[in-house]
Amino acid sequence: VQLQAFGGGLVQPGGSLRLSCAASGIIFSINDMGWYRQAPGKQRELVAGITAGGSTNYLDSVKGRFTISRDNAKNTVHLQMNTLKPEDTAVYYCNADIRPRAHAYPSVYWGQGTQVTVSS
């Protein structure tokens, strides 16, 4: 199983970016999916999470600006980021709780990280 994230880049304050993450390989089901971020010198933090049923949760500082969504048919998760601020600058990682086979235990997989830089 692999997770591949893409969509990061450089954007001005107030701008928008959309991150996407696709899971591939042998996958029976995916439970929770999420986006984390890690800024230099800081701990990795959960930005947004989404359950298989579509329930979401967000870091307080991104509520109202970021939206997480998923496409269960395509094993993808997205993060729409609007009104970006310099403090959103970080490497963003996707993760997913994946059951590779029907009778296997689920495991958490991580994407490779994509850089988001918000600067004028």
- Please list the pLDDT of the chain residue by residue as tens digits (120 residues): 999 999 999 999 999 999 999 999 999 999 999 999 999 999 999 999 999 999 999 999 999 999 999 999 999 999 999 999 999 999 999 999 999 999 889 999 999 999 999 999
- SS3 of residue 58 by DSSP: strand
Q: How far apart are CA 44 and CA 109, in angstroms?
A: 15
AA identity, residue 93: Y
Among 30, 43, 25, 27, smallest CA distance to 77 is for 30
Cβ atoms 34, 19 nearer than 8 A: no
